[in-house]
Amino acid sequence: MKKIIFTLGLGLVLFTASGQQKQGRVLYERTVQMRMHMIGGGGAEQMLPRSRTDRMEVLFGNNRSLRRAVADERPEAFAGEERGMRVNIMVAAGPIEITYLDLAEGRMVEQRELGAKKYIVTDSIQKLPWKLTGETMTILNYPCQQAVAQRIGKRSETTMENGEMKTREITDTSQIVAWFTPAIPVPAGPEYQGQLPGMILGMDISDGRVVYRAVEVTEEVDLSDIKAPSKGKKITAAAFAEEREKLMKEMQRNHKGRGGMIRIGG
């Protein structure tokens, strides 16, 4: 029986190549804990939900994968009245609508949305320094192994100082715990695709800030659906980040002086 060995960080993944699922569909449930920062709005934070749950799917086959929503994931606008005060909500850039991976080429193509505009963002797969912990668990009858990593990035934080709104970048460190199964030897999942030697069926980011849980795995998939998105302006990842920052600043200017503003996420 042929054996395949992957070395990952300081750990070792050993599994047999027979009886593995190499194409199919995984349905995920995602729960996001809202991070809310109130600027001049009193107790309006109590009016908002503390978490949001939605679903997405990952299709895989022929050394490619596609992540997409199974329902409209865009947050709804919210406006409330609290003691005569209007509360405006500004939501940070939403989740990626479509993510396509060519695993053989190490290439990622994303369809992302800012305001009313769609963009096609092409980038290489960026890999984190994953380590295996030796812990195992079963998800949907699939044996899974635990891998952990740390991602150090930046995020924008908006504050009110002397009546003036200011935005600054701060370091944001995310602790990532992933559960992947070598029984599906496809390096895909709901996030951090192309990095682990098996499908990610569970993930916890920043101690529960974002949690993914696979709720269904099937072998049926239409391979013609696994293709790169094409609707939108083609742009690099760096240029997209600049466009997103411009939009956030414009939203801040538009909401200045219109009562309290709450920023969610970001």
* Residue 102 to residue 19: CA distance in whole angstroms: 23
Q: Looking at the predicted structure, is the pLDDT value of residue 217 above 90? A: yes
Copy the structure tokens of residue 50. 């503390």
Q: Looking at the predicted structure, is the pLDDT value of residue 87 above 50? A: no
User: In which element (H, E) is residue 31 found?
Assistant: strand 24-33
* Interval 154-202: pLDDT, tens: 666 666 566 566 666 667 788 999 999 999 999 999 999 999 999 999 9
What pLDDT shows up at residue 155?
62
What pLDDT shows up at residue 202?
98
Q: Looking at the predicted structure, is the pLDDT value of residue 203 above 60? A: yes
Q: Is 161 exposed, middle or buried (0-12, 13-18, 19+ CB in 10 A)?
A: exposed
Asked if residue 175 lies in contact with residue 150, where contact means CB atoms within 8 angstroms, the answer is yes
Segment among 42-56, 119-133, 182-196, 241-255 with least mean pLDDT: 42-56
In a domain, 22, yes or no: yes
- Domain total of the chain: 1
* Residue 156 to residue 169: CA distance in whole angstroms: 5
Residue with tokens 């190499």: 22
In a domain, 23, yes or no: yes
Q: Looking at the predicted structure, is the pLDDT value of residue 147 above 50? A: yes
* Interval 26-68: pLDDT, tens: 999 999 886 554 445 455 445 455 778 899 999 999 999 999 9
Segment among 18-27, 39-48, 100-109, 144-153 with least mean pLDDT: 39-48
In a domain, 190, yes or no: yes
Cα dihedral 204→210→215→220 (10° resolution)? -100
Full-model pTM: 0.73
Instruction: From 232, 200, 204, select the one nearest 60 (Cα to Cα).
Output: 200
In a domain, 55, yes or no: yes
* Residue 205 to residue 224: CA distance in whole angstroms: 31
HSE value, Cβ hemisphere, 13 Å, CA-based, for 12: 3
In a domain, 3, yes or no: no
Mean pLDDT (the chain, rounded): 78
User: In which element (H, E) is residue 60 found?
Assistant: strand 51-61
The domain containing residue 84 runs over which residues? 9-264
What pLDDT shows up at residue 26?
98
Phi, psi of 44 (to 5 degrees): -70, -20
